Every structure is written in C-alpha cells, then in structure tokens.
C-alpha cells in the first residue's frame, strides 16, 4: 500500500524498507517477513542489518525476488559518549559488502566517517562505477581451494573481475591459478598486467583489496 501510494503521488520516487535479514527471529521480533515483501513486490529497495551471516543474506536475496538488497557496514563505536577510536571503513570490507549486496551498501553512520573511510569508499565506488554492468548483472564464481569470503569472481559478457579482499586486521596472501578461458588483463588498483592462464600471487595489507580485470 505504501509503495503504490507513493508511486501514485510522486512518480519516480523510490520507497525503501529496512529491517534485519530473512530469519525466523527477524520475522518474530520485528514483524518483517521478507518473503511477503518479495511476493507483493512491496518496496523498491530493501535494506538489511550488519555483519555477514552468509546463509541469512542468501535467504534474503531469494525472498526479495529481484528487489535490490542494500547490505550494511556498521562503524563502531557509534555512541557519542564512547571515546574509543572508530574502526574505519576499508576497501576489503566495502568490496566484500558490495559483492554480498544486489543494490548497494548502507554505512551507519556518516558522522563517524573520517578521511580513511571516505578514501576507501572512493576507491571502491570508482571500481563499481567503471564496471557497473558486471556488478549489476554478473554471475558469481568461486575459485577452487581459495576462501570464498576473500576471493570471488564476477563474470558478465566477456569481462571477469577477480576480487581479492582482506577485511581482516592482518596481512593475507593468496596464490590463485586463473583459468585461461577468462583471458588476460590487468590489476585495477596497481595496473600490473595479468596474462591469460597465469597463476597470480597477491599479498594484501590489512583492509586492502585488489581486483584482476580480465577480458576474452
């Protein structure tokens, strides 16, 4: 009813709804069952909680039946009376959240953002902006024997983005054989060339990310 009324009164306006992920607890605690929202196509965008409960995120995407899902990145602490330094956003954290989402990322909240967070946001969004069709329509592919939380590929119309992400506070290293049929290309952030079928070695500092842009 809200969505229909808003569209009638203000054509082009998007109606968003926010709650937790699609779990039995969320439906009981907050009265929001995303399956019903998906069946009714009851909003234009859906926003959900924070953290990375993989099964709950997948269940939410399925329940929404095509409604774009905006996943959350929570900056802590966010209480004004706590003086502990804020944990800044990072490229690794943001890119992981972008890949989990189907409609963008919600950061809570803006007053906690400092220069480090804005830089990470800028570095991540310039990647998404340049390859927006891949992020919107790409097929998710996981590489054998590599952790899916840290290494994930997106494929769309001959372009493959192989994303290496380190959302942790420690250095991480990866050795990944790339299928030759994905073609060659370059690393998005460093510009280093990548040959078709190469086995790449990637070392990421805490919070960093690198993306192999391959074309065939």
- Give φ, ψ of 123 to 5 degrees: -65, -35
Q: Which domains does the chain have, with CATH numbers?
A: 2-133 (no CATH), 137-215 (2.60.40.1180)
User: How far is Cα 65 from Cα 145, in angstroms, rounded to an integer?
Assistant: 31
Give me the pLDDT at residue 30, please. 94
Average pLDDT, integer, range 152-168: 97
The secondary element (H helix, E strand) that includes residue 108 is strand 105-108
Instruction: Using alpha carbons, list the distances in angstroms from residue 143 to 154, 189, 207.
Output: 11, 21, 21
Q: Is the pLDDT assigned to residue 87 strictly greater than 90?
A: no
Half-sphere exposure of residue 156: CA atoms within 13 angstroms, side-chain side: 12
Number of Cβ atoms within 10 Å of the Cβ of 74: 14
pTM: 0.93
User: How far is Cα 49 from Cα 65, in angstroms, rounded to an integer?
Assistant: 18
Task: Provide the pLDDT confidence category of residue 76 given band limits of 50, 70 and 90.
Answer: confident
The per-residue pLDDT of the chain, averaged, comes to: 95
Task: Provide the pLDDT confidence category of residue 82 given band limits of 50, 70 and 90.
Answer: confident
User: ω into residue 199 within 30 of 0, thus cis?
Assistant: no
The single-letter DSSP state of residue 51 is S
């Amino acid at each position: 009813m809200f969505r229909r009324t808003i569209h009638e009164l203000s054509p082009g306006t998007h109606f968003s709804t926010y709650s937790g992920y699609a779990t039995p607890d969320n439906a009981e605690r907050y009265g929001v069952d995303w399956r019903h929202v998906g069946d009714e196509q009851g909003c234009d965008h859906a926003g959900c909680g924070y953290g990375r409960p993989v099964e709950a995120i997948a269940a939410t995407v399925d329940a929404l039946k095509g409604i774009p899902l905006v996943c959350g990145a929570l900056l802590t602490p966010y209480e004004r009376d706590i003086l502990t330094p804020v944990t800044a956003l990072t490229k690794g954290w943001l890119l992981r959240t972008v890949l989990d989402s189907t409609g963008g990322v919600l950061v809570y909240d803006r007053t906690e953002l400092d220069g480090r967070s804005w830089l990470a946001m800028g570095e991540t969004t310039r990647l998404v902006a340049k390859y927006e069709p891949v992020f919107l329509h790409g097929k998710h592919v996981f590489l054998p024997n590599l952790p899916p939380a840290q290494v994930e590929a997106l494929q769309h119309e001959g372009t493959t983005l192989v994303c290496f992400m380190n959302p942790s506070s420690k250095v991480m290293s990866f050795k990944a054989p790339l299928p030759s049929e994905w073609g060659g290309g370059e690393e998005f952030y460093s510009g280093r060339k990548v040959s078709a079928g190469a086995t790449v070695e990637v070392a990421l500092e805490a919070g960093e990310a690198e993306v192999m842009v391959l074309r065939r």
